[in-house]
Amino acid sequence: MKIKKNVAISESGFIFNPTSGDSFSTNPIGLEIIRMLKDEKSKDEIRKYILSKYMTDDSTFEKDYYDFVMMLQTNQVAEEIE
Amino acid sequence: MEKIRYERPVIKKLNTGVMNKYGTRTEYAPVTNIDGAKVKDLIGEFGSPLFVMSEQTIRKTYKDAVRAFTTRYPKVQFAWSYKTHYNNAICSVFHQEGSWSEVVSGFEYNKALLNGVPGNKIIFNGPDKTDEDLILAINNESMIHIDHLDELYRIIELTDELKKRPKVAIRVNMDTGVYPMWDRFGFNYESGQAWDAINKIILTDKMDLIGLHTHIGTFMLTPSAYALAATKLSDLAFHIKSKFGKNITYIDMGGGFASRNTLKGSYLMGADTVPTFDDYAEAICSALLNSEYSKEDLPLLILESGRSLVDEAGFLLGTVLANKRLSDGRKATIMDFGVNILFTSFWYEHKISPAQEFSHYTEDSVIYGPLCMNIDVIRENITLPPMKKGDNVVVHTVGAYNMTQWMQFIAMRPNIVMIDMDGKPHLIRKKETLEYMNSLEITPEYLKSFKL
Ligand SMILES: Cc1ncc(COP(=O)(O)O)c(C=O)c1O
């Protein structure tokens, strides 16, 4: 999973995709995940970070992360890389 | 290090330039208590889903309606529409406030009697009155509102048997410029049916015609329709006076005032657009005052308002069962309440608030109920903060018709609680149990054993 190169991310969670012209907003935790993806952190690194910072558990993270990443792809903010 | 509260990560596309059809900020501001009772505590004690009625809101709304009419007209009486919410505690709040009762079946009639309403303060409407119902109503001197000629003739027969003069009114339907016209109830004004029925009643001289009744529709957004209806009933009353020298004691304008709900398909929130009691009162009272009555002959004005008096006082508390992503990418949230107990979600876009604090990030979603049926949609699109399994919500303005039209399907009907004037919850209807449901069923003896 990789955030597209030209996607702009602002401090306040505002995301702009110049290719499609679409803009998005995300919540603080969403912004953190997008930043980590941009820094090419692995899912495991992201999991560790989220579980240490927030009151949540592994299965909730798993479910929500999967859904979030799907939405990033649907909205063409991120792309699958193999 | 202390961990911070978790919120599901969300991303939402921003649409510029299009009107926001998903609602406004106030829609998803959290509601954590109702009249001082904490939502979490209520669910903890009485379960989820849970209907909650606010006694304070009922009394406040009722007083507001009474004020709007009594400041404009000298003789006003409300009669509580039982079908709208016939829970005994709720009816009793209305009766304590001075409301009579308006019923449409033997079941409702007897409920009113058992609640302590004197027979002569009960208005009996509707096309379905059995002989037993009619005899009871005649003996109790209730106001019988005749719906059709078959009923009129049956009452005439009964008066001979009972040797009593029933007190009756006729229900009149008419064109008030609002369509579809409710012409299946009562006698039509324009075609002369109503005048014909009036003549039959007065000339057969077996009963006293004391009132004229109409109910022009429900969730009526145009107060001027009421002015027209009041004028037409007054014309009938004036004709009766000139032909027979008899005064009509009351004009009953029925119900139908809109509640502060949002009808499906409307862009604007109901709370901001529906007419107020003052608007309706101004239309009706001016029409009556400006018609032919002399000061002494002014009839009592009866109102049978239902939804406008109780809708806002009702809340449904519920819990998120699951979140899903639909194939088209939309978010779907499944709640533990469905259309079986929230019948009104078929025609209203009910406001739904989260019951816990959230950040101000939101997402658009569909709200489904738990029934295994495709029609079980509570809201087709709504903006809410990201919610997770176990989070609670408050559905607003559900006090009218839901707790009488609810269906027992798959699961059983939940508890109803009323928050009293001091913020204390009272259980006013127990949730149904398997034992209760089974107690109504009878399995023939020969079916009681089987081998699998
Ligand atoms: C005869 C009559 N009166 C009163 C009402 C109450 O109407 P509403 O809840 O629209 O005020 C109804 C509802 O259908 C009715 O049929």
The domain that holds B319 is classified in CATH as 2.40.37.10
**B191-225 as b/e, with b when 16 or more CB fall inside 10 Å?**
eebbbebbebbbeeebbebbbbbbbbbbbbbbbeb
User: What kind and span of H or E run contains A47?
Assistant: helix A43-53
User: What kind and span of H or E run contains A3?
Assistant: strand A2-3
Render B394-407 in DSSP notation, one character per residue: EEES--SSHHHH--
Euclidean distance between CA atoms B117 and B111, whole angstroms: 9
User: With contact defined as beta carbons under 8 Å apart, do B314 and B288 qualify?
Assistant: no
Are residues B211 and B274 located together in one domain of the fold? Answer: yes
3-state secondary structure of A24: strand
pLDDT of residue B75: 97
Q: Which of B80, B48, B46 is nearest to B393 (CA)?
A: B48
Distance of CA B47 to the CA centre of its chain: 24
Residues 6+ apart with CB under 8 A from B156: B204, B206, B207
Are residues B248 and B384 located together in one domain of the fold? Answer: no
Euclidean distance between CA atoms B254 and B217, whole angstroms: 9
Find chain A residues with C-beta within 8 A of B361's C-beta: 13, 25-28, 30
Are residues B60 and B37 located together in one domain of the fold? Answer: no
* Matching residue, tokens 């499944």: B334
Domain limit, last residue, from B259, B280, B311 = B311
pLDDT of residue A79: 84
The domain that holds B166 is classified in CATH as 3.20.20.10
Are residues B269 and B362 located together in one domain of the fold? Answer: no
Residues 6+ apart with CB under 8 A from A16: A7, A8, A10, A22, A23, A24
Positive or negative, the Cα torsion across B107, B112, B114, B119?
A: negative
Q: Establish whether residue B125 lines the binding site of ligand 1, counting it when its CB lies within 6 angstroms of any ligand atom.
A: yes
**Nearest chain A Cα distance for residue B338, angstroms:** 25
Q: List residues of chain A with CB under 8 Å from any CB of chain B.
A: 13, 15, 22-30, 33, 52-56, 60, 64-65, 67-68, 70-72, 74-75, 77
Euclidean distance between CA atoms A38 and A53, whole angstroms: 19
Are residues B297 and B325 located together in one domain of the fold? Answer: no
What is the number of domains present in chain A? 1
Query: Ligand 1: which residue has its CA nearest to atom 9?
Result: B306
pLDDT of residue B16: 55
Are residues B205 and B353 located together in one domain of the fold? Answer: no
Q: Establish whether residue B256 lines the binding site of ligand 1, counting it when its CB lies within 6 angstroms of any ligand atom.
A: yes
- Burial (CB count within 10 angstroms: exposed 0-12, middle 13-18, buried 19+), residue B433: exposed
Question: Considering only alpha carbons, which residue of chain B is nearest residue A26?
Answer: B11
Residue B349: inside a domain: yes
Q: Establish whether residue B84 lines the binding site of ligand 1, counting it when its CB lies within 6 angstroms of any ligand atom.
A: yes
Mutate to test the pocket of ligand 1, among B304, B307, B311 (most ligand atoms within 8 A of CB): B304
Domain limit, last residue, from B284, B311, B338 = B311
Render B351-390 in DSSP notation, one character per residue: -EEESS---S--EEEEEE-SSSSTT-EEEEEEEE----TT
User: What torsion do the CA atoms of A66, B24, B42, B436 make, to the nearest 10 degrees?
Assistant: -80
Residue B419: inside a domain: yes
pLDDT of residue A81: 66
pLDDT of residue B265: 73
Residue B398: inside a domain: yes
3-state secondary structure of B70: helix
3-state secondary structure of B123: strand
User: With contact defined as beta carbons under 8 Å apart, do B58 and B309 qualify?
Assistant: yes
What is the number of domains present in chain B? 2
3-state secondary structure of B37: strand
Structure tokens at A70: 């799907």
Are residues B295 and B347 located together in one domain of the fold? Answer: no
Question: ipTM score here?
Answer: 0.94
**Nearest chain A Cα distance for residue B9, angstroms:** 4
Structure tokens at B404: 């009488």
Render B252-321 in DSSP notation, one character per residue: E----BPPS--BTT-SS-HHHHSPPHHHHHHHHHHHHHTSS--TTTPPEEEE---HHHHGGGEEEEEEEE
- B200: domain range? 55-311
- Could you give phi then psi for residue A19, rounded to 5 degrees? -65, -45
Positive or negative, the Cα torsion across B402, B406, B411, B413?
A: positive
3-state secondary structure of B28: helix
Half-sphere exposure of B113 (CA within 13 A, CB side): 16
Are residues B237 and B371 located together in one domain of the fold? Answer: no
Are residues B271 and B342 located together in one domain of the fold? Answer: no
pLDDT of residue B21: 46
| pLDDT tens for each residue of chain B, 452 residues long | 788 889 999 988 886 544 444 444 556 789 999 999 999 999 999 999 999 999 999 999 999 999 999 999 999 999 999 999 999 999 999 999 999 999 999 999 999 999 999 999 999 999 999 999 999 999 999 999 999 999 999 999 999 999 999 999 999 999 998 887 888 899 999 999 999 999 999 999 999 999 999 999 999 999 999 999 999 999 999 999 999 999 999 999 999 999 999 888 776 667 678 999 999 999 999 999 999 999 999 999 999 999 999 999 999 999 999 999 888 888 899 999 999 999 999 989 999 999 998 877 888 899 999 998 889 999 999 988 888 899 999 999 999 999 999 999 999 999 999 999 999 999 999 999 999 999 999 999 999 999 99
B145 has which bridge partners?
B169
B340 has which bridge partners?
none
pLDDT digit string (tens) for A27-68? 999 999 999 999 999 999 999 999 999 999 999 999 999 999
From the CA of B213, give the closest atom in ligand 1.
Answer: 1
- A19: domain range? 2-79
Are residues B288 and B348 located together in one domain of the fold? Answer: no
Question: Considering only alpha carbons, which residue of chain A is nearest residue B386?
Answer: A27
pTM of the entire predicted model: 0.88
Tell me if B7 and A27 make a contact (CB, 8 A cut-off).
Answer: yes
B390 dihedral zone (left: phi>0; alpha: psi -120 to 50; beta): left
Euclidean distance between CA atoms A30 and A47, whole angstroms: 13
Render B181-249 in DSSP notation, one character per residue: --TTSSEESTTSHHHHHHHHHHHHTSSEEEEEE----SSB--HHHHHHHHHHHHHHHHHHHHHH-----
Residue B241: inside a domain: yes
pLDDT digit string (tens) for A5-15? 888 888 888 88
Are residues B149 and B270 located together in one domain of the fold? Answer: yes
Mutate to test the pocket of ligand 1, among B215, B253, B312, B398 (most ligand atoms within 8 A of CB): B215
pLDDT of residue B27: 62
Structure tokens at B135: 């005899």
Residue B3: inside a domain: no
Residues 6+ apart with CB under 8 A from A62: none
Structure tokens at B97: 């406030």
